[in-house]
Amino acid sequence: MKITILETGRAPGRLSERYPLYPDMFRSLLSGADGGLTFETVALVDGAALPDPAGIEAAIITGSPKGVYDTTPWMDPLRDFVRGAHAAKTPLIGVCFGHQIVADALGGEVRRSPKGWGVGRHTYDILGRRPWMADAGKRFSLAVSHQDQVITPPDGAVTLASSAHTDHAMLAYDNAPIISVQGHPEFTDGFVSALYSARRGVSLTDEMADAAIESLATPEDNAMVADWIARFLRSARA
214 a catalytic residue: no
Which residues is 60 bridged to in the sheet?
5, 93
Which among 146, 165, 186, 220 is annotated as catalytic?
186
DSSP letter string, 1-17: -EEEEEE----STTHHH
Which among 7, 96, 165, 220 is annotated as catalytic?
96
Give the up-direction half-sphere exposure of residue 156: CA atoms within 13 A in the CB hemisphere: 15
Residue 57 in contact with residue 36, Cβ under 8 Å? no
7 a catalytic residue: no
Q: What is the CA radius of gyration of the chain?
A: 16
Which residues is 145 bridged to in the sheet?
119
186 a catalytic residue: yes
Which among 86, 146, 168, 184 is annotated as catalytic?
184
Give the residue numbers annotated as catalytic, written as ranges.
96, 184, 186
